[in-house]
Amino acid sequence: MGEFLFYLLKSGCFLTVFYLLFKLLMSGTTFFRFNRVVLIVGILGCTLLPLIEFTTVEETLFTAPLRTIQEALGDEQNMVYLDGVNWDIQLDKNGNEQSTNWCPVILGIIYIVGALFTLCWLVVSHFRMLQLIRTGEMHQCGKYKLMVVSQSVSSFCWGKYIVVSALDYSRQVNEILLHETMHLRYRHTLDLLLMQFFLAFFWFNPVIWLLKRELQEVHEFEADNGVLNTGIDATRYQLLLVKKAVGTRLYSMANGFNHSKLKKRITMMLKERTNRWARLKLLLIVPVMAGTLYAFAQPEVKATLAPIVEEVTQQGQEDSYWELVNFFSNEDRAYQSQLKGKKGSPLHTNYLFVNRKNRIMFNTDILEQKDLQKALEEKLYNSWKKNPQNAELILYQFDWNANEGSIKNIFQSIKNAYVNIRARIALESSNNSKDYLDSVFPILVRQGAVSKKYGIIYDSEKEEKQEPAEVITEATLTLYGSSGGTKTELKNFTLEELKKEIIDLKTTLKDSSEITIGLKVNKDCAIGVVEDIKQILRSCNVLKVNYWIQR
């Protein structure tokens, strides 16, 4: 929804620029049919131009505020997919519980309600108009149908119908019928139908309503011009307009005899024809619209890529533990989907181990946390340079008692190392597209085994081996069935008790795949506890887990 709202913002800016240019350049001209086409094509163009992706070498004046708006409208949720388990992460970048960004949700609801209200208003207006037409007495008026109604309404036309009041019909005002016939001959109804679609789509934008008024005025000017071209006395026709100016109009979506401002219509009838070369003024729209498109352009990342990445990482912009896990998981899945059944690059596996004292070993080197990122950048890049056909994979393993904060810092160093290496490759190759970087140096970080403590050791090809079970006190689980109601809450449990509760719950459900687990852990919980619980959930085929850390 956030991207759609940002599209509405961009299209609204294009519509505003177009309206101002039209009023400035074309509003006072006598190119009635030309102006009509310009309005329709211009509105269509303003809905399509925001869809064009345009990049620039440097940031524009509007890049920063537009980026701020995009971030405010962002509605992406952090979803982690690990070994078939969907972990819905509710943490912010500081590791605190993250609340939903309600801004795009609320704005989206307001937009939908407004669009539905506008659409209903248009449908009701159509229904009332058709009801009025059905009550009229039908007469033939050339190839159109003349409906004479008893209500005192100003004449109008819609589709193939011309509607006049019985009073106007009794006075035999041929000019009125001729005016409405011109509307139908020029197919103005089609323009208004299209405009009603835009009204429902951009209902919140006052510019679209102003453009609708401009289009209806052009329709009236074109119809008036058509009437005068038949040889009707201009003075008599203008006096009739003055006389009918006090009439009642009910249907704003239809073309009516008394629809536009009287003074402006008479002025346009008396005005000398605009020089045909004046149409060239419209060419000014091209550079102005191009400038508007440029204002929304995204900066292209080329030579500045590496300094930007280096600056961001040095300033200490960090992610939470689960955001980093999410990042690695998404990159791995993107790499797998990119293969699409094709044979991928050979994997060069690098091993990273963390013991219970949070000491780090990368391949055969013992490293300090502060030296990890630099060492990873050097070793991964040099290894890739020697064999560029290989993809560099980091397979990590940490001790059950390893601290979550230390693991998070290690993950951050791994991410920064990959990002900086890819920035370096982008500079060397002059190709910074993500698809290219994913193909030559994908981000592949996967988890190996974790030492177990609570009751079960897992082996994919062996039976589960039982050990003395210990009670888990750092986590609380809530088991939900398919209806969403709370079934069971577990505290101070063993892994065997957890597995038994899940199996018992699944036997009571029609669709055992709909089970949901809520997992809450204390902030000082060892990362191994979470891994042990995940193993149980995987073995029980639990597909969805809501996870959060209690602070």
pLDDT at residue 314 in the model: 47
Co-location of 191 and 162 in the same domain: yes
Helix orientation angle between 527-539 and 495-507, rounded to the nearest 10 degrees: 30
pLDDT at residue 112 in the model: 94
Co-location of 354 and 376 in the same domain: yes
In a domain, 335, yes or no: yes
In a domain, 477, yes or no: yes
Query: What single DSSP character describes residue 97?
Result: B
List the one residue out of 13, 25, 1 whose CA is nearest residue 107: 1
In a domain, 89, yes or no: no
Co-location of 157 and 283 in the same domain: yes
pLDDT at residue 193 in the model: 93
In a domain, 95, yes or no: no
Task: Name the domain boundary from 447, 465, 491.
Answer: 447
Six-digit token string for 11:
């299209």
Local mean pLDDT, 10-residue blocks, the chain (551 residues) = 85 93 89 93 93 72 72 53 42 47 83 95 93 90 89 86 87 82 92 94 94 93 91 84 61 53 82 84 85 74 47 56 86 80 75 83 85 91 89 85 81 92 87 84 82 40 48 80 67 84 77 74 72 78 66 52
Q: Domain tally for the chain?
A: 3
Note the pTM of the prediction, 2 decimals: 0.53
Co-location of 358 and 479 in the same domain: no
Co-location of 327 and 437 in the same domain: yes
Each residue of 350-366: b (16+ CB within 10 Å) or e? Answer: bebbbeeebebebeeee
pLDDT at residue 39 in the model: 95
Co-location of 343 and 484 in the same domain: no
Co-location of 391 and 511 in the same domain: no
pLDDT at residue 417 in the model: 93
In a domain, 94, yes or no: no
Full residue range of the structural domain in which residue 342 is found: 305-447
Co-location of 167 and 243 in the same domain: yes
Phi and psi of 469, rounded to 5°?
A: -80, 145
Task: Name the domain boundary from 240, 273, 293.
Answer: 293
Half-sphere exposure of 455 (CA within 13 A, CB side): 17
In a domain, 380, yes or no: yes
In a domain, 98, yes or no: no
Task: Name the domain boundary from 293, 317, 344.
Answer: 293
Co-location of 138 and 248 in the same domain: yes
Co-location of 14 and 135 in the same domain: yes
Co-location of 132 and 160 in the same domain: yes
Cα Rg of the chain (Å, integer): 35
Cβ neighbours for 48, distance < 8 A, ≥ 6 positions apart: none
In a domain, 82, yes or no: no
Q: Distance (Å, rounded) from C-alpha 180 to C-alpha 362?
A: 84
CATH code, domain with 470:
3.40.140
Co-location of 195 and 273 in the same domain: yes
